[in-house]
């Protein structure tokens, strides 16, 4: 006869330990806030004096800024007036030159003018040109005459080179257009042709 196995009893699980209650943290002791003592009459007087000086410095700063702005406006206005005065003075000197040109044109258009008057017109134009040069020279204009001088890239503008043995290499042999300076300031470089040493003939 077969015996049936009886199940072994399960081990009893240990009972969970009861949680220990956590006591709430005690509030940190609040530090006492020190209340500053009220200012003394001497300190109040010193604060009032400092405030008065600050107001005085602020007013002075505002006045200085206003004076500076007025100075800038006055200086700009004076520069404009000076430029206009200089331009007016130059134009006043050029008026006689304009008058002489008109007289020369009237003489050249004369229908009954004799043939010899052409020479007088040419002479008059030459005088007008000299007069114009004198006026511009007094105003500070200076001609740049590059003929026969070494080429200077600061004053000359070369547009061509000419092979020649009659002038040193790099010398200006022809001036196509004059250059001008105004009080050491270059207004227009002189347009020139520069000499170049002829190439050596090929060896035989």
What is the share, in percent, of the chain residues with pLDDT greater than 70? 77
Helix then strand then coil, % of the chain, to nearest 5: 45, 15, 40
Q: How do residues 103-144 score in pLDDT, each as one tens digit?
A: 877 777 764 555 556 777 778 888 888 999 899 898 889 999
Domain final residue pick, 92, 116, 139? 139
The pLDDT of residue 72: 94
- Residue 57's pLDDT is 93
36 or 194: which leads in pLDDT: 194
Segment 172-199 mean pLDDT: 91
Instruction: Let me know: does 173 contact 167? Beta carbons within 8 Å.
Output: yes
Q: Could you tell me if 123 and 72 lie in one domain?
A: yes
Higher pLDDT residue, 172 or 11?
172
**pLDDT reading at 6 higher than 80:** no
| Cβ contacts of 173 within 8 Å, gap of 6 or more | 162, 164, 166, 167, 193, 194, 195
Is there a single domain that holds both residue 152 and residue 172?
yes
For residue 168, the domain's CATH number is 2.30.22.10
**Mean pLDDT of the region 89-104:** 85
Which element (helix H / strand E) includes 75? helix 41-108
Does residue 21 sit within a domain?
no
Classify burial at 105, counting beta carbons within 10 Å of its beta carbon; exposed 0-12, middle 13-18, buried 19 or more. exposed
Q: Give the pLDDT band of residue 13 (cuts 50, 70, 90).
A: very low
- Domain of 79 in residue numbering reads as 42-139
């Amino acid at each position: 006869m077969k015996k049936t196995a009886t199940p072994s009893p399960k081990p009893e699980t240990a009972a969970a330990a009861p949680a220990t209650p956590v006591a709430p943290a005690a509030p940190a002791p609040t530090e006492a806030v020190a209340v500053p003592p009220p200012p003394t009459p001497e300190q109040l007087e010193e604060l009032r004096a400092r405030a008065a000086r600050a107001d005085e410095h602020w007013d002075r700063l505002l006045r200085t800024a206003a004076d500076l702005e007025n100075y800038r406006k006055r200086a700009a206005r004076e520069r404009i007036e000076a430029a206009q005065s200089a331009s007016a003075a130059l134009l006043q000197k050029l008026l006689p030159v304009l008058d002489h040109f008109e007289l020369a044109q009237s003489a050249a258009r004369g229908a009954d003018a004799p043939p010899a008057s052409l020479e007088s017109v040419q002479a008059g134009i030459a005088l007008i040109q000299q007069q114009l040069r004198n006026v511009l020279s007094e105003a500070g204009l200076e001609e740049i005459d590059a003929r026969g001088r070494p080429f200077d890239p600061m004053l000359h503008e070369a547009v061509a080179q000419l092979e020649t043995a009659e002038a040193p290499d790099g010398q200006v042999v022809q001036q196509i257009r004059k250059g001008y300076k105004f009080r050491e300031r270059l207004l227009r470089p002189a347009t020139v042709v520069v000499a170049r040493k002829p190439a050596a003939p090929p060896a035989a």
